[in-house]
Amino acid sequence: MAGIYIHIPYCKTKCSYCDFFSGTNFGQQSELLDTMKAEIILQKDYLGGAAVSTIYFGGGTPSTLSVSQIQEIMNSVRENFRIEEGCEITLEANPEDLNLTYLEELKKSGINRLSMGIQSFDNEQLKFIRRRHTAETAVDAVKDAQTAGFDNISIDLIYGLPNQSLQSWKCQIDKALTLNVQHISAYGLTYEMGTLLWKQLQKGEVIQVDDETMNAMYAYLAEACTGNGFEQYEISNFAVPGYRSRHNSAYWKQQPYLGIGPSAHSYNMESRQWNVSSISKYCNLIVTGKCWYEKELLSEQDKYNDFVMVSLRTVEGIDLKKAKAIFGKKRTEYCLKSAEKYIEKKLLYINNESLRLTHAGILISDQIITELIMCGD
């Protein structure tokens, strides 16, 4: 089993909090799409013939592409890889780009999962973070997608937006839960260096939501989603049973994936590589037959760290038997020793020979993960 990620690095406008690789200049778009098709051919052996069970169009904003552009990329993928029957094919979309005709065409093209960046249902908040859509557009887009036959829809939300109160966040979740979607991803706002929002914070133009409120927001998210038929299967991800993101789950299970497009990452269990984060450099390097990515071979230590990092974020936690079998007794014992104080504080627990985060542990998961991975060779 393997996955393919396709990065579409275009957005019609830039959101103030975003540090993903994307730009608003569509000038080189057709050259880029041709180059991405060339990369698909160049990388056709990367997955070693493994069947592809998930394809994910991310960005940027893939919904800025026409359906025929998406189809051309899909055709190229199908011609060069073995695609599993029932492959999950996700497209990230901005609600503002969606209408019934486009959605019906998308569905016919084979896209069977939509991931909509809604972020908030509060128009003031949306405007402040420079999202293109309004709350009304977002709700209409979900309804249109359902009318077009999409029965696997995920929405993204952000909590801890500047000036957002706990009450306001509760309204966002409550609204999301009325939409009959199958999946909710919710992320706490981070101020990424260099973004407009980060600059506003430096100038004192925005006030960060305090930790206590952030924790209360997260607690409400988990409580409301799990109380409404969603299972929490990862720190930030909730799904109706049967609708976990297979693509993201494969990342967390460390299955191999190939990333296509500028800035896209690939992983094949022995190494990871990342494409150059520049549209013009990416096109020039590929067209002139030069290498367009950097590559890092993974040491045993890297592999162990990745394993701990991704496993602990999931509801299944770290499978201690598996850890011992793959990484040996010394690393597993280090992991358990580092976990002791967190187990005592009820931030971690062991169940079925797996080390898992409690709800309280999730709130400081970054700190816990950092301690568990600091094992020397």
Residues that bind ligand SF4 (CB under 6 A): 11, 14-15, 18, 20, 22, 59-61, 94, 117
CB of 27 or CB of 229, closer to ligand SF4? 27
- Cβ contact 250:267 at 8 Å: no
In the numeric block, which tokens belong to residue 317? 């936690």
Q: Name the residue nearer to ligand SF4 (CB basis): 77 or 197.
A: 197
Looking at the Cβ atoms of 194 and 227, the one nearer to ligand SF4 is 194
We find the least distance from the C-beta atom of residue 18 to ligand SF4, in angstroms, to be 3
Q: Which is nearer to ligand SF4, 15 or 98 (CB)?
A: 15
| Residue 160 or 361 with smaller CB distance to ligand SF4 | 160
CB of 183 to ligand SF4, least distance (A): 17
Cβ neighbours of residue 374 under 8 Å, at least 6 residues apart?
338
Nearest to 117 by CA among 230, 232, 218, 17: 17
Q: Return the number of the residue (117 or 361) whose C-beta is nearest ligand SF4.
A: 117
> What does the alpha-carbon distance between residue 57 and residue 118 come to, in Å, rounded to a whole number?
17
- Closest to ligand SF4 by CB, 13 vs 180, is 13
Q: Which is nearer to ligand SF4, 247 or 356 (CB)?
A: 247
The 318-319 sheet, strands edge to edge: 318-319, 354-357, 348-351
Q: How many helices (H) and strands (E) does the chain have?
A: 14, 15
Residue written as token pair 């799990």: 226
Q: Residue 157 or 373: which CB sits closer to ligand SF4?
A: 157
Q: Smallest distance, Å, CB 187 to ligand SF4?
A: 11
To ligand SF4, the closest distance from the beta carbon of 56 in angstroms equals 14
At residue 33, φ and ψ (nearest 5 deg) are: -65, -40
Q: Could you say which DSSP state residue 367 is in?
A: H
Helix, coil or strand: residue 208: coil
What is the nearest approach in angstroms of ligand SF4 to the Cβ of residue 206?
17
Task: Kindly state the smallest distance separating residue 57's Cβ from ligand SF4, in Å.
Answer: 12
β-strand partners of 258: 4
CB of 278 to ligand SF4, least distance (A): 16
Q: How far is the CB of 176 from ligand SF4 (least distance, A)?
A: 18
Return the amino acid letter for 42. L
CA dihedral over 367, 362, 255, 278, signed as positive or negative:
negative
Phi, psi of 300 (to 5 degrees): -60, -40
**The two three-digit tokens of residue 205, written as one number:** 């133009």
Q: Of 215, 190, 241, 236, whose CA–CA distance to 16 is shortest?
A: 190
Residues 377, 301: Cα–Cα separation, whole Å: 7
Closest approach of ligand SF4 to the CB of residue 158, in Å: 9
